[in-house]
């Protein structure tokens, strides 16, 4: 009977150590997901601004050459 109590105690210690580690891994995964989402949105905005600037320059150039 004593051996069974020791095993239960070991499992409890194992869970007590692993649960915070699992929560930390989940938090890191969520943070990285938000980071990549924000980076891709910023890149899309920068690309849209560059395209808009290029179009404006092209229209301005066409207007001066005619």
Distance of alpha carbon 31 from alpha carbon 39, whole angstroms: 12
Total residues found in the chain within this entry? 66
| Mean pLDDT for the chain overall | 88
Task: State the pTM of this model.
Answer: 0.62
pLDDT of residue 62: 85
Rg (alpha carbons) of the chain, rounded to whole number = 29
Q: Give the long-range contacts of residues 3-6, CB within 8 A, separation 24 or more.
A: none
Distance in angstroms (rounded) separating the CA atoms of residues 34 and 27: 11
Side-chain-facing half-sphere of 64: CA atoms under 13 Å: 6
List the single range of 1-5, 11-15, 26-30, 36-40 with lowest mean pLDDT.
Answer: 1-5
pLDDT tens across 29-49, in order? 999 999 999 999 999 999 999
């Amino acid at each position: 009977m004593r051996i069974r109590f020791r095993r239960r105690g070991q499992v409890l210690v194992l869970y007590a150590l692993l649960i915070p580690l699992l929560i930390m891994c989940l938090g890191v995964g969520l943070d990285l997901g938000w980071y990549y989402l924000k980076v891709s949105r910023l890149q899309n905005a920068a690309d849209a601004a560059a395209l808009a600037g290029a179009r404006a320059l092209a229209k301005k150039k066409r207007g001066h050459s005619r």
